[in-house]
C-alpha cells in the first residue's frame, strides 16, 4: 500500500491518502541521557535513506543494563528525548515500549509500528557495535524480516555485523561522546557544553538527574 500522511508530535498518523509509501526508521535506545551523537546519527540516516521520520524509541526496561548500573526512569528518559528532538524536523520521540511495559524487545516494537503505519517500509537503525552482536538479540530473525537493517558506521575501521543478515550501511561523523561518559561528567564536574543540548540540560536540572541540583 502507498500513503501520503500527516503526523502529530508523538508520531501518530492524523490522516492519510493512498499516494506515497512511508519510510519509517526505528532508532531504539536507553537514551540515558540523549546526546548530540544520537541526533547526528538520526538526522544523517534520515537524510541518506530518505526516511519520512526517525523514531527515537525509548526503552522501557533495558534489561541488559539494569544488572550493571542504575538507569534513569523511563518517564525521565522520554522527557529528555522529547526535549532533544523538539525542534528537529523528522525526528519523533517514541513511547510505545514504555506504554507496553515490561522488558523492551525490538521485534515487538516493529510489529506495533507495522500496525500503526500500515504499508510502511520499516528500518531498524543500530550502531556498528550493537550490529556486531545482533545475532544474540531476542528474535533477531524476526527483526530482519520485519525491517531493513541499517548499521551506522563511523569513519575508520567499522566493526563487521553478522554476515547471515543483509545490512545497509550509513556513515555518520565520528563524535567521541557516550551516555556513560556524560553521566560521569555530571559526577566529576567536567564540562557538558556542546555534548548535550540546552533543552535536555533543562530537563536534567529540573528533575535533579545524574546528581544535578534542582
How far apart are the C-alpha atoms of 42 and 175, rounded to whole Å? 13
Residue 199 lies in a domain: no
Q: What is the DSSP string of 14-42?
A: EEEESSS--EEEEEEE--SS--HHHHHHH
Is 192 a member of any domain? no
- Domain total in the chain: 1
Angle at 82 between CA 55 and CA 210, to 5 degrees: 115
The reply to whether 186 falls in a domain is: no
Question: Which residue would you say has higher pLDDT here, 124 or 153?
Answer: 124
pLDDT tens, residue by residue, 178-197: 788 889 898 888 888 888 99
Q: Which domain holds residue 68?
A: 4-177
Place of cell 543478515: 165
Q: Distance (Å, rounded) from C-alpha 131 to C-alpha 182?
A: 23
Q: If 0-12 CB within 10 Å is exposed, 13-18 middle and 19+ buried, where does residue 201 land?
A: middle
Higher pLDDT, 160 or 101: 101
- Please check whether residue 185 lies inside any domain of the structure: no
Q: What is the C-alpha separation between 167 and 128, in angstroms, rounded?
A: 11
121-127/23-29 β-pairing: parallel
Give the DSSP H or E segment for 42: helix 36-49
Residue 188, Cβ density class (10 Å: 0-12 exposed, 13-18 middle, ≥19 buried):
exposed
In the structure, what pLDDT confidence band is assigned to residue 97 with cuts at 50, 70 and 90? very high
The Cα 57–Cα 92 span in angstroms is 8
DSSP-assigned letters across all residues of 62-83:
-HHHHTTS----HHHHHHHHHH
Does residue 188 form part of some domain?
no
Q: Residues 31-80: pLDDT tens digits?
A: 999 999 999 999 999 999 999 999 999 999 876 665 567 889 999 999 99
The reply to whether 36 falls in a domain is yes
pLDDT of 65 reads 60
Mean pLDDT score of the chain: 86
Neighbours of 136 (CB within 10 A): 9
What percent of the chain stands above pLDDT 90? 59
pTM for the full predicted model: 0.85
CATH number at residue 107: 3.40.50.620
The answer to the question of residue 42 being in a domain is yes
Q: What is the mean pLDDT of residues 111-115?
A: 94
Q: In this predicted structure, what is the pLDDT of residue 60?
A: 92
Q: Is residue 19 part of a domain?
A: yes
Amino acid at each position: 500500500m502507498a500513503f501520503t500522511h500527516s503526523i502529530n508530535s508523538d508520531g501518530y498518523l492524523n490522516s492519510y491518502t493512498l499516494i506515497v509509501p512511508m519510510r519509517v526508521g526505528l532508532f531504539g535506545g536507553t537514551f540515558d541521557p540523549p546526546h548530540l551523537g544520537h541526533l547526528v546519527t538520526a538526522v544523517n540516516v534520515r537524510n541518506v535513506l530518505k526516511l519520512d521520520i526517525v523514531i527515537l524509541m525509548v526503552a522501557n526496561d533495558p534489561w541488559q543494563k539494569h544488572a550493571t548500573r542504575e538507569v534513569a526512569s523511563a518517564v525521565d528518559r522520554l522527557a529528555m528525548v522529547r526535549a532533544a528532538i523538539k525542534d528537529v524536523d523528522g525526528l519523533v520521540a517514541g513511547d510505545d515500549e514504555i506504554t507496553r511495559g515490561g522488558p523492551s524487545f525490538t521485534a515487538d516494537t516493529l510489529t506495533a509500528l507495522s500496525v500503526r503505519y500500515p504499508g510502511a517500509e520499516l528500518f531498524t537503525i543500530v550502531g556498528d557495535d550493537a550490529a556486531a552482536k545482533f545475532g544474540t538479540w531476542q528474535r533477531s530473525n524476526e527483526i530482519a524480516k520485519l525491517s531493513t537493517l541499517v548499521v551506522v558506521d563511523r569513519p575508520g575501521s567499522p566493526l563487521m555485523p553478522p554476515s547471515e543478515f543483509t545490512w545497509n550501511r550509513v556513515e555518520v561523523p565520528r563524535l567521541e561522546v557516550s551516555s556513560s561518559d556524560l553521566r560521569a561528567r555530571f559526577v566529576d564536574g567536567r564540562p557538558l557544553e556542546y555534548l548535550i543540548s540546552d533543552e535536555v540540560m533543562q530537563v536534567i536540572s529540573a528533575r535533579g538527574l545524574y546528581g544535578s541540583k534542582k
